[in-house]
């Protein structure tokens, strides 16, 4: 199921609480993102995965599509390290872990990733 902004955040929360799985792009452009280091510089980062984790307790998984050849891709899933997202330190750790995973994904396959937005806006 696709959600739009018009559906509202709570419809996504209800969907997750009912056992659904939801994809949220960790590298999406944010008007007001949380500044979290990405390649050593503060970058506007989405807090949507963090908020969904806090509100639903859903397991945050990351997945990466890696190109095998011009017609084949493989998908890999990875769990974020467990943190207590109900503390300030845990929130910071969650966002830092999210961006570290994104960095590693880009470093491992730089030609499979595009920076379409300026994440480093001040």
Give DSSP secondary structure letters for 13-77. Answer: HHHHHTT------TT---TT-EEEEETTEEEEE--HHHHHHHHH-PPPEEEEEEEEETTEEEEEE
Comparing CA positions, the residue from 62, 30, 55, 52 lying closest to residue 43 is 30
Band of the pLDDT at 122, cuts 50, 70, 90?
low
pTM for the predicted model, two decimal places: 0.84
pLDDT in tens, 45-92: 889 899 999 999 998 888 888 888 889 989 988 888 999 999 999 999
Summarize the confidence of residues 28-48 as an average pLDDT: 84
Band of the pLDDT at 10, cuts 50, 70, 90?
very high
Average pLDDT, rounded, for the chain = 87
- The number of C-alpha atoms within 13 Å of 36 and in the hemisphere containing its C-beta is 23
Asked if 76 and 112 touch (Cβ cutoff 8 Å), the reply is no
Among residues of the chain, what percentage have pLDDT more than 90? 43
């Amino acid at each position: 199921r696709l959600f739009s902004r018009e559906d509202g955040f709570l419809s996504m929360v209800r969907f997750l609480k009912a056992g659904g799985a939801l994809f949220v792009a960790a590298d999406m452009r944010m008007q007001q993102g949380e500044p979290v280091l990405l390649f050593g510089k503060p970058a506007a980062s989405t807090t949507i995965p963090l908020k969904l984790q806090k509100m639903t307790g859903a397991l945050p998984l990351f997945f990466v599509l890696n190109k095998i050849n011009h017609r084949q891709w493989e998908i890999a899933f990875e769990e974020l390290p467990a943190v207590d997202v109900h503390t300030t330190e845990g929130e910071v750790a969650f966002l830092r872990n999210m961006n570290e995973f994104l960095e590693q994904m880009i470093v491992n396959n730089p030609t499979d990733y595009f920076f379409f937005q300026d994440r480093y806006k001040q």
